[in-house]
């Protein structure tokens, strides 16, 4: 018992809370992103995602461990891709582009909802540790939603931006690129790890959040400040 008590006393519980907040926010962003892909593909005539059980809010069905880790650590990442068979689409390239766009669109809408709710809490709820932790979660949702949306719009295979850009290519070039896109994933992970996208994505994320804050009335500086649990502790 003494060992357990000593372990509990030295455990960084607030660090664990911060990790859980970031992980849950990341899981929600990932789930809504992939669900949107599958739902739009289904509405366009492709039942592949539905038949695979991917039209669900269960995050385990969409989880890619490396992509989740990237989201928690560097605020950008990915999920396990929803299966899409473009042969079901009436216009395959256009259908694929619309399906690809649905994921980032869902992330931006999620971020907007998070910032709007954060603004309500900020302006009308009593300020205490509970509301500040809620604001921390909503701030992480907004940051991760914008980050995931922007990252997936990068026009590099197999990210969504490539599907949108490739829709304008000739059919022969388009299908050749799709054939080999899975081999690009390793290179993409390396680029993320070495920080190639850090500066441009950080700039764009702040600008997007600035716009969302302007729409909702949430102070940008506080939205960014409250994303870290340790800053909340400094307020008390």
CA–CA separation, 8 and 138 (whole Å): 28
CA–CA separation, 189 and 187 (whole Å): 5
Active site residue 34: yes
Tokens of 124: 């009308």
Tell me how far CA of residue 60 lies from CA of 27, 67, 79, in angstroms.
9, 13, 10
Spatial CA neighbour of 115 closest among 130, 147, 137, 132: 137
Tokens of 24: 């849950």
Peptide bond into 161 cis (omega under 30): no
CA–CA separation, 203 and 151 (whole Å): 12
Phi, psi of 144 (to 5 degrees): -70, -35
Sequence length of the chain is 236
Active site residues: 34
């Amino acid at each position: 018992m003494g060992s357990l008590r000593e372990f509990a006393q030295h455990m960084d519980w607030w660090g664990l809370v911060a990790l859980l907040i970031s992980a849950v926010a990341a899981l929600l962003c990932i789930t809504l992103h992939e669900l949107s892909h599958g739902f739009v593909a289904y509405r366009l005539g492709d039942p592949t995602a539905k038949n695979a059980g991917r039209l669900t809010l269960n995050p385990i069905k969409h989880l890619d461990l490396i992509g989740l880790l990237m989201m928690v650590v560097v605020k950008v990442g990915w999920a396990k891709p929803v299966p899409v068979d473009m042969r079901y689409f009436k216009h395959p390239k256009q259908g694929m582009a619309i399906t690809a766009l649905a994921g980032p669109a869902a992330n931006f809408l999620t971020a907007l909802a998070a910032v709007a709710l954060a603004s309500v809490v900020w302006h009308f709820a009593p300020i205490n540790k509970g509301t500040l932790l809620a604001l921390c979660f909503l701030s992480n949702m907004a940051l991760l939603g914008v980050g995931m949306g922007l990252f997936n719009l990068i026009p590099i295979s197999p990210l969504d931006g490539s599907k949108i850009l490739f829709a304008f290519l000739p059919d022969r070039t388009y299908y050749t690129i799709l054939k080999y896109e899975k081999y690009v994933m390793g290179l993409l992970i390396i680029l993320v790890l070495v920080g190639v996208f850090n500066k441009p994505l950080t700039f764009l994320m702040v600008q997007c959040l600035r716009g969302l804050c302007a729409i909702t009335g949430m102070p940008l500086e506080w939205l960014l400040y409250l994303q870290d649990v340790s800053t909340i502790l400094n307020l008390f």
